[in-house]
Every structure is written in C-alpha cells, then in structure tokens.
Amino acid sequence: MGVPTSSNDFKNGMTLDLPDGLFAIVEFQHVKPGKGGAFVRTKLKNLKTKAVIDRTYRGDEKVDQAIIEKHDMQYLYRDGESYVFMDNSSYDQISVSPDELGSAASFIKEGDTASVSSYQEVVVGVELSASANLTVTNTEPGIQGDRVSGARKPATLETGFVLQVPLFIEQGEKITVDTRTGEYISRA
C-alpha cells in the first residue's frame, strides 16, 4: 500500500498505487462546477503497459500515492533471460526481467549506467540516457552511385536491434541512436 493522499494534492508525474496497477499522472484538472461538488479529471499512464486512461476523482478523495525509488545502476551481464544490474552506491545486485526492462533492452550494453525505478522492491522501469553509442555489427555495403537523398538501409547493432541507417554507414562503425524512438541520429 502507498501513502494516502488527497486528489486535491495531485501533481504531474506523481505515481498512484491503484487496484489495477501503478499509474503516473500525465495531466490533471481541478473542476468546480456551479452546482455539486468539485472533482479532479486526470489522464493516467500505466507504468507497465504504457496505456493512457482517463479517470475522474471527487474533490478530496483519498488515493494511495506510490513512492518510487530511483537508483543509478550499472548493467553487468545477462543471466539467461534476466539482466543483472548492480547498485552504484551499495553494490547490491538485482535481476531485471525483459518485461521490466522494456524498450531499454534494445539499447543497453554491458557497463552502461541506467536509472532503475522500483516500488516496494519491485522494478517498475528502467530509464537510459536519451542516446546511446552502439556498434553496427551487420549491414549491406552502400552501392556505388546509389546516393538518393535520404535513402536508408537496415543495420543490426551489437545489441541485436535492427534500425534504418543512411547508405554511407559501414559495418563496424559506431553510431548514435535515440533510445526513446530507436532512430539513427549520427555517427559517433
């Protein structure tokens, strides 16, 4: 159970522990109609599924606020299906499942640091920096004379992630990738 809080104290980014999961407040609006009691209209994002829902609360309705702890952790290695991280301050190690890691699994490599969010000892999210430098392990060579403006080709990165890159990128090169969208940014 979280910390009881009033719907009048909602703030963007606050996390709520609701019966159907953990939700972050994306936006909220206090409404005071001419007749009847005040209420709070919210947009909530499910931390697990990323689905956004609308929900309305009465003014001063009590809900549980989830206090999310964030720790900087270093990714050490993969153990079967799990990803093993080490807390940079306490040196404790934890295993994170691919579901908990989410899209970060496509861009994280050994030695990288990530911000790991947890609630009651359960990992609820892993956040990487906005971009990552990764090596291209496989791509077709660019064809001489094929210089169509904006033309792209598929490339496989060292993490196994496949994305579209410009024709001039060669196998073995390091490139910078946007970890939020999975798009090529530039050569590293």
**Considering only CA atoms, which of 102, 164, 156 is closest in space to residue 134?**
156
Give the pLDDT of residue 54: 93
Whole-model pTM: value is 0.73
Give the pLDDT of residue 76: 93
CATH numbers and ranges of domains, the chain: 3-65 (2.30.30.30), 69-127 (2.40.50.140), 131-187 (2.40.50.140)
Percentage of residues of the chain with pLDDT beyond 90 = 15
Residue 43 has pLDDT above 90, yes or no: yes
Give the pLDDT of residue 166: 87
Chain centre to alpha carbon of residue 113:
14
Which two three-digit tokens encode residue 47? 């931390």
Residue 143 has pLDDT above 80, yes or no: no
SS (H, E, C) 135-146: EEEEECCCCCCC
